[in-house]
A and B are shown apart, each in its own frame.
Chain A
């Protein structure tokens, strides 16, 4: 007997049907939130979500503070995907939580279309910025069917009533590439990839303007990761929402992001257009990350670039090195790096790409 279920995740690559009916089913007065057609990708889009000078610290015992995020500024425009990469403890998830309003930054602001989001966001403001979590096993309530998860949101936010709820649920299923009968299922009956689609449907149900996805494919099997990435790319094209994708995986960022920000020990060390970052990195840490990433088709020797590899590991955020936080591990470091912190400045001068390195004008 050829097994029954395995066809589900396959719904994706072809793209769900009904392209046009997909999104604008919400109440009409929300039209600013959701441009109906795909955005023109070429025009310089308005900044949609802007974070300025975010600082977050946590008490670390003995009167110490752990500085998780320091002076981080980011922006994402309509239809744009911003990738935030870095290793564990670099503060990337903390940034995601600040953007989504789950965590109040110690200082700094997050604003949406120019409006500063206060310490306590309104329901509307929460609706506008949605978060997709890493683990679709722990982020879905096991006792609620998919339909009840979605319907609750739609009714609570006044986005649909009566029969419209069911119609909208079906649209959402089509949008994320799940069959209609998935609505009756509970999280336990779905695979990891399907659960992540449900989590995405939940985020999209409230017609957000920005989706912040924190490591959305890290817990999935290799063979379904590509399908979820394709779904994100497709949604961005069709719905024109802004996306912030948090990941430790450079390959993921290179595949679907328009711009990328690299974080190290709570600060952005480099930010710019994707190809600038990946083909002409100006911060030694970005270079090191690119060298260290395992590759399927690299040069002849298997353990390549040994000499260029970083020594040591990221220091604890409670014991941050002076000057440039990266200097103890940096192959390019000079005495100035230990004393003077480099500002995040355009590299080369006049460029939109910025790097926080004293030697940002050097290429390789």
Chain B
């Protein structure tokens, strides 16, 4: 999939392929400008103005979904749902949260108004909202950040979707509350069999919720694989660099090490491998030709990397 943007048509996302199984969870990790949120929005058919998908497809249970227009909305409706980062700005301040949750079963599933209200309370209870009957009458400003995020998750689940797309859903929350929301997402996935795509900049958070991981850099996926294996034995120098750069609570042995250089902006993505100017494994060849994405094979069938020298990276 490739997305072009703006007058100058910058390539914001290129050749990104992701898949997630029913009941599975995929974490998409990257820093600002890596294209992770745009990719998620493209999946959801919610691209901002000026951004278009040049080519590529999205399939849900074997059915192809268009990216724009009425058909895009109709085909996603009730099957894909999204949870946004900032729960306050994604809720309408003038309606009670119960009414906002009830709107989904009523309009998407065609339930009656009274059945929808009952369903809304059930959903609020399911996402762990304390005292859901009372809280359904509350307005968003009367709830705490964690409770608002629970309301958003309840709304997303109200249409009984197959896939839940989460864009940094815990970034605005405190750590003790973040832990509760992560736990809730994991629990819902197991209980309801909904697939979860979880976008975040925080490796430690993603590690807790994702079976599989895709790491993005400058609009490309540069590494994929089972979360545990990718984090323990990264096959791309950028993933390795991120792991070394994380200020980790436990890793007191060595201080975190920043990745040299800065994130390139989209107008000046380096030639060849986009990471080569910051890479300690780079050779002259890396600047000349794009390494392309390939799977590692033998034993690591699910693992892929966009590096020419994964063996060297994995050896440290």
Contact = CB atoms under 8 A, between A and B. Distances in A.
Tell whether A pairs with B: yes
Interface of A: 1-10, 12-13, 87-88, 191-194, 217, 221-227, 229-230, 233, 248-252, 254-255, 278, 288-298, 302-303, 306, 309-314
B250 A295 contact: yes
Given A2-B271, A230-B258, A313-B176, A251 B249 contact: yes
Interface in B245-297: 245-252, 255-264, 268-271, 276-278, 287
Please indicate which of the listed interface residues B176, B248, B276 has the most CB atoms of chain A within 10 Å of its own CB. B176
Given A10-B260, A249-B247, A2 B146 contact: no
Interface of B: 31-32, 130, 144-147, 174-180, 182-183, 186, 201-205, 207-209, 231, 241-252, 255-264, 268-271, 276-278, 287
Contacts of B241: 223
Nearest to B259: A223
B179 A292 contact: yes
Contact of B174 (A1, A8, A88): A88
A204 B93 CA distance: 43
Contacts of A221: 31-32, 201, 263
8 contacts: A8-B262, A222-B31, A222-B201, A226-B247, A293-B249, A294-B208, A295-B248, A303-B208
A199 B115 CA distance: 56
B37 to A, nearest CB: 14
Contacts of B130: 312
Given A3-B269, A313-B147, A226 B258 contact: yes
B245 A296 contact: no
Nearest to B264: A3
Greatest chain B CB density within 10 A among A191, A297, A309 is at: A297
A297 B257 contact: no
B144 A313 contact: yes
A13 B257 contact: yes
B204 A13 contact: no
Contacts of B247: 217, 225-226, 229, 249, 251-252, 255
A5 to B, nearest CB: 7
A87 B173 CA distance: 9
A236 to B, nearest CB: 14
B138 to A, nearest CB: 14
Contact of B180 (A3, A222, A289, A309): A309
B231 A296 contact: yes
A291 B182 CA distance: 13
Contact of B258 (A4, A7, A223, A306): A223
Given A294-B207, A295-B250, A314 B287 contact: no
B262 A193 contact: yes
Contacts of A297: 231, 248, 250-251
Contacts of A289: 175-176
Contacts of B182: 294, 303
Contact of A306 (B176, B183, B246): B183
Contacts of B202: 222, 294
Contacts of B180: 309-311
Contact of B256 (A2, A225, A278, A306): A225
A6 B175 contact: no
A27 to B, nearest CB: 35
A283 to B, nearest CB: 14
Given A2-B271, A294-B208, A226 B276 contact: no
A81 B258 CA distance: 21
Given A1-B268, A226-B244, A233-B255, 14 more contacts: A2-B270, A6-B264, A7-B260, A222-B201, A222-B203, A225-B247, A292-B176, A293-B249, A294-B208, A295-B250, A297-B231, A297-B248, A297-B251, A313-B174
